[in-house]
Amino acid sequence: MFPLSMFAALIVMLAFGAPIAFTLASIAIIYAYFLWGFHALNLLVSAAWGAMNNFILIAIPLFIFMAYILQKTRIVDDIYETVIKWSGGLPGGLAITTIIVGAILGSITGVVAAGVIGLTLIGLPQMLRYKYNRRFAIGCVLGGGTLGQLLPPNTNMVVYGTVTGVSIIGLFAGGLSAGILLTSIYICYVLIRAFINPNFAASLPPEERVTWKEKFISLKGVIAPIMLVITVLGAILGGIATPTEAAAFGAAGALIIGFLYRRMTWDILYSSCSETIQVSSMIIWLMIGANAFSGVFAGLGGNALVSNMAANMPGGPNAVFILFMSIVFVLGMFLEPNAIIFLIAPLMSTVLGRVGFDPLWVAIVFNVILQTSYITPPFGFSIFYVKGALPEGTDIDIMEIFRAAFPIIMLQLLSAVLIFMFPQIVMWLPAQIMR
């Protein structure tokens, strides 16, 4: 009963609004002290040391720093202007532009906040200006902006690989496949809605479209960031550099691009460093608390308990898999993604591995489901990013954003179902890279 009571205590403390990192650590300390004595508190020291003494985690602040530099130097604006020139003539062209730019931003930054806020500031006003359906436009911003959860370089996947031991290179390769699949699903959704009702998402008027010459000229402004992404991902997936080394190159490349475009200032550099430290510190504290909690939980027989329950569950391995993914989906309504990874990923990976699932495939489906946590009410982070970044004077309330998120959640779950039914969609590329 002790492992189960640990989870009950966790739920109660979170319900009262306690910070999750300190909730995890305090529950671990209390149980370890009263059950095993004072010397068991060394577990917390070990958890802190294990979180900090991990070379691969250096990739997290480096990727976050790269994201902030590229966002603050207005690279997003350049990319949006280029893509809109190429796709604006299509039905729903502005929505397609928003999704494609979201995918590009996801590959450049790997940080969801940068994508959602950037698209809210740039893409949403454009779509509203051309009389797009408001919920549809907001949904495209939410969908495109959250692609950074899947497309590498992705900080959440670095965290997942660190806490479970799953290959980060394999995760990046599978995430790339899953991201391309979901981007394609979003674009098909836009085209279908625009075809059914042209007034729902119209194409740009002919007089506002540009010539082929202007389209090719516009590519000049995005060559540098795209080459940076290709180099970083190519180095990781090609085995030339570790994720940490590639992240260092990406951070340096972002700085160079900022200087070349003459947009880098001391204020941008300072704010990027400050915000990188804040986000990275939050992740490390979560890891310390989660390591302590999972250590005590395992010591009390919690892992064995869950494994035995899974082995005896009616419906076999598929039922166990669906149960875990349902838990991830529900947790996503209340917790932030990194917290969910630390809470459930190590246990889930172990249990599902024992019942016959490939841990890498499990990780990819997990990250697809985890993407919904950014847009599921009541605490979807991307929903509040959109609300906070809305241009002044835009009369969109939080309930309208909630309703706009529903079709995107359904499309994300559809992609998870397709990956479940056809694993090779996301497993082919990792198999080619890692063989």
pLDDT tens digits for range 39-72: 878 877 877 787 777 777 788 888 888 878 887 8
- pLDDT attached to residue 141: 92
Q: What residues have CB less than 8 Å from 251, skipping those under 6 apart?
A: 62, 63, 65, 66, 69
- pLDDT attached to residue 311: 67
Which amino acid belongs to residue 412? Q
pTM score: 0.82
Q: How many other CB atoms are there within 10 angstroms of residue 222's CB atom?
A: 18
- pLDDT attached to residue 143: 92
Q: CA end-to-end span of the chain, whole Å?
A: 44
- pLDDT attached to residue 206: 75
Q: Please answer whether residues 369 and 325 qualify as being in contact, where contact means their C-beta atoms are separated by less than 8 angstroms.
A: yes
> Which residues of the chain are under the pLDDT cut of 70?
88, 109-110, 310-311, 393, 435
pLDDT tens digits for range 197-247: 877 777 777 777 777 788 888 788 778 888 888 888 888 888 788 888 888
Q: Please answer whether residues 56 and 236 qualify as being in contact, where contact means their C-beta atoms are separated by less than 8 angstroms.
A: no
Q: Is 28 helix (H, G, I), strand (E, B) or coil?
A: helix
